[in-house]
Amino acid sequence: MAEFLFITDLDNTLVGDDAAMQQLLDQLTRHRDQHGTKIVYSTGRSLTSYQQLKAEKHLVDPDALVTGVGTAIYHQGSREPNADWATLLSQNWDRERVRAIADSFEDLMPQPESEQGPFKVSYYLHPSVASNILPQLEAKLQREALAVNLIYSGSKDFDLLPANAHKGYAMTFLRNAYGFAPERTVACGDSGNDRAFFAVGSERGIIVGNAMPELLDWHSANPADHRYLAQAYYAAGVLEGLAFFGFLAS
43 lines the binding site for Mg ion (CB under 5 A): no
8: DSSP letter? E
42 lines the binding site for ligand GLC (CB under 6 A): no
Which of Mg ion, ligand GLC, none is residue 115 near (CB under 5 to 8 Å by kind)?
ligand GLC
- Going by C-alpha positions, the residue among 101, 92, 95, 32 that lies closest to residue 68 is 95
Nearest approach, Cβ of 182 to ligand GLC (angstroms)?
A: 24
Stretch that binds ligand GLC, among 80-88, 135-143, 152-160, 212-220 (CB under 6 A): 152-160
17 lines the binding site for Mg ion (CB under 5 A): no
Cα 89 from Cα 98, distance rounded (Å): 14
Query: Which residues, 65 to 124, sit near ligand GLC by CB under 6 A?
Result: 69, 111, 115, 122
- Going by C-alpha positions, the residue among 156, 167, 177, 176 that lies closest to residue 198 is 167
183: DSSP letter? G
Residues listed for the chain: 250
Nearest approach, Cβ of 43 to ligand GLC (angstroms)?
A: 7
Nearest approach, Cβ of 22 to Mg ion (angstroms)?
A: 19
Q: Where are the beta strands (DSSP E) in 47-202?
A: 64-67, 72-75, 109-110, 121-124, 148-153, 157-162, 185-189
Nearest approach, Cβ of 98 to ligand GLC (angstroms)?
A: 15
Which of ligand GLC, Mg ion, none is residue 153 near (CB under 5 to 8 Å by kind)?
ligand GLC
- Judging by DSSP bridges, how do beta strands 38-42 and 64-67 pair with one another? parallel
Binding site for ligand GLC (CB under 6 A): 44-45, 49, 69, 111, 115, 122, 153, 157, 159, 193
